Structure 1
Amino acid sequence: MPHFSLPAKTKLFYVARGLRYALLAALLTACSDDDEPDTIPANPAKITVPQAALHPEGIQYDETSKRFLVSSRTKGQIGAVKDDSTYAVFADEPRLISTIGLNLDAGRQRLLVAISDNGANTARSTPATLRQLAALAIFNTTSGALSSYINLGTLRPGMPHFANDIAVDAQGNAYITDSLSPIIYKVDAQGVASVFLENAQFSGGTGFGLNGIVFHPDGYLLVAKANDGSLFKVPISNPAGFTKVTVTQSLVGADGLLLFDPQTLLLVSGSQTTVFRLTSTNAWVSAAEAGKFATGAVSPTTITRRTPGDAYVLYPYQATSPRFAITKAAF
């Protein structure tokens, strides 16, 4: 076949056009790589949140909005944390001195918050509230609006108070532990407050007494006592008939609780820097350790469920820390 040769100018045209196309393709690829967001894994192993001196105490996972809600001992506000570590204020107002335990009552669109004052929030603490405040605040989970604020300490004036944790039963009644007085309060679905149970066995002496609390669907509460690690079973219909759960494992430092299923309780011990998995085969007459998860020196406080199979532990670190973390428990 005959050989045809392109003129030199034509060759240069095609070479130049080819170079332009190659350069354009390279630029498009680079832009595409820059614009592509980093992939955030589902249920990440650890979320580190760069919020200084927040010192959160309570945590709940909000499945509807795909966020964690956290409290703050030092600032009082409630915050929302996404998997990408971003933090936004969910709710705040002057009466939130130190926010402690949280309970997300998703079916009723309520976030229940225990309010106390141990002096950690220097901007809001006052002589009238220091070690005297035990309150319950209720927020709408959609708007963040405060719907109710109930001062529980007025039920027992003249006693020291520290509202710590909250459980909610099937009827919407809330039960709140007081760590400085041997009391469990009750606030019904209409907002009427009362002393549900008061007993000297709940006293913490000079330290913290009652701490974490959960509702069991069979009609009773499980309540932890921090100073000696006691675990109590309190029937809703007969609170005075409470019993102590027999546990061979030391639970000293018991803080937050999570009822993972009717036979399994996860318990955070801050002083032992450990999350214990307890199981019971006799309706919590007794319980045995079925695993534990060491957190390290991060001052763990409490734990929340994220999916049916995952639980996340709150690591506040110290009151002045530049960050806090939310970590998946790995037993």
Structure 2
Amino acid sequence: MAFEASCCTFTAVLMLVMAIATMAILRSQEARISSKSRLDYIPDKGWLRETVHWDADHSRFLVSHMEGGIGEIPITPKIRPAREHTLVPRNSTPPLAGLSTNGFKVDTPRHRIVAAMADLVKNRYSAVIAYDTRTWEQLFFLKLAGPERASLADDVAVDEQGSIYVTDALGGLIWKVTSDGSSFEVLTAEGAFAVKPKHWLISFVTVNGIVYHPNGFLLVMHTAGDCIFKVSLDGKIVQKVVMEGTFCGDGIALVSPTKLAVSGLWTGAKLVETHDMWSSANITHFYAGPRHRLATSVTVKDGDVFINYMVGQGIPYYLTIGQAAFTPVSS
């Protein structure tokens, strides 16, 4: 009996020590997001957020719900944590039922947002959807792939004419959708993004974050290949950007025509710069964010890069959008 009591006491003490150590690690990781440059908010519905974009016209962050839907987080300095307001609720009726809202872009000239939607569990459905940012009425919904093959519509870009480009993170291709969402085509040839995976844990994730460059081409992050591609708008030229470094990249955002911000899942974020219009590039700055939060996307607000952290924490549960405090990469 004495031996059993001793074992129970030892187990209890060990568990307490482990709990304290875990909390200390989490606190040290969380401290990487400065209290002066973070926006904590209580989610209105759901638990996970995939993408963030700064909507300058309305002074708010917009976020996509992995459970389906779009929310806004207004900038209210006197209210912390902020409260998310759902603009587009999760839809439980087909064909939207069960679809995650993933990457999206604010298409300011056309007063809309365009978002990629997909079946995250079975990968049997991918689509693109658009909403009017003034009324939040659905403008169009277009199915891109069904149960005939595995697919995952992941992120979108919109060019100056309003054409929409959607990455398929499982199929390794880009869909090009007409501006009105009435039809689409596969933009890139089969195998155009064939590269050797560098990260076994995410080796199934191919083309991911995508942006339109004002000089008339696309930049695409290849997650498993740990590289960036430059793609012509007709899909005929797919060029791997010459560079070195590790990303674990997910979402991307243009800071300027020569600078690109990359969210790195559990590695934080990095700044990439080119001097030859994206034939080659170098990682110039990095930011080591909290590893337990998962940095899934980046957006630019007043020249600063802000990161969306997919996973929240705390009681009550809160999520965070944090400014990246970049440090120059030593030569």
1:27 maps to which residue? Answer: none
Shift of the 81–55 alpha-carbon distance from structure 1 to 2, 3 Å rule, reads same
Aligned to 2:57, the other structure's residue is in SS state coil
* Partner Cα separation in structure 2 for residue 270 and residue 80 of structure 1: 22
TM-score (norm. length: structure 2): 0.77
2:329 maps to which residue? Answer: none
CA-CA distance at 1:319 after TM superposition: 9.6
* Partner Cα separation in structure 2 for residue 182 and residue 199 of structure 1: 8
Find the structure with the greater CA-based Rg.
1
Say which of 168, 181, 190 aligns to 2:171.
181
Asked if 1:280 is matched to 2:268, the reply is no
Q: State the Cα RMSD in Å.
A: 2.1
Query: Per-residue displacement from partner, 1:181-214 (whole Å, max 9, x unpaired)?
Result: 0210011113221111133253679611110001
Asked if 1:215 is matched to 2:188, the reply is no
CA contact (8 A) 1:55 1:319 kept: no
* Partner Cα separation in structure 1 for residue 320 and residue 308 of structure 2: 6
1:243 aligned partner, one-letter code:
Q
CA contact (8 A) 1:132 1:161 kept: yes
* Partner Cα separation in structure 2 for residue 250 and residue 326 of structure 1: 23
1:67 maps to which residue? Answer: 60
CA contact (8 A) 2:49 2:311 kept: no
CA contact (8 A) 1:55 1:320 kept: no
Aligned to 1:199, the other structure's residue is in SS state coil
Aligned to 1:101, the other structure's residue is in SS state strand
CA-CA distance at 1:83 after TM superposition: 2.2
1:108 maps to which residue? Answer: 110
1:316 maps to which residue? Answer: 310
More moved, 260-269 vs 50-59: 50-59
1:193 maps to which residue? Answer: 184
Matches within 5 A, 1:236-251: 236-237=233-234, 239-251=235-247
Say which of 227, 230, 238 aligns to 2:227.
230
CA contact (8 A) 2:102 2:115 kept: yes
CA contact (8 A) 2:74 2:84 kept: yes
Structure 1 runs (4+) greater than 4 angstroms displaced: 203-206, 318-321
Query: Per-residue displacement from partner, 1:237-259 (whole Å, max 9, x unpaired)?
Result: 4x2221100111122x2100011
Shift of the 206–268 alpha-carbon distance from structure 1 to 2, 3 Å rule, reads closer
* Partner Cα separation in structure 2 for residue 200 and residue 106 of structure 1: 33
Shift of the 206–230 alpha-carbon distance from structure 1 to 2, 3 Å rule, reads closer
Query: Per-residue displacement from partner, 1:168-190 (whole Å, max 9, x unpaired)?
Result: 11111110000110210011113
Say which of 287, 294, 297 aligns to 1:293.
287
CA contact (8 A) 1:53 1:319 kept: no
Shift of the 55–274 alpha-carbon distance from structure 1 to 2, 3 Å rule, reads same
1:102 aligned partner, one-letter code:
F
Say which of 128, 144, 154 aligns to 1:152.
144
How high is the sequence identity, in percent, across the aligned residues?
27
2:311 aligned partner, one-letter code:
Y
Gaps of 5+ in 2: 1-35, 77-81, 327-331
Shift of the 62–236 alpha-carbon distance from structure 1 to 2, 3 Å rule, reads same
CA-CA distance at 1:274 after TM superposition: 2.0
CA contact (8 A) 1:182 1:198 kept: no
Shift of the 99–320 alpha-carbon distance from structure 1 to 2, 3 Å rule, reads farther
Shift of the 78–150 alpha-carbon distance from structure 1 to 2, 3 Å rule, reads same
2:87 maps to which residue? Answer: 90
TM-score (norm. length: structure 1): 0.77
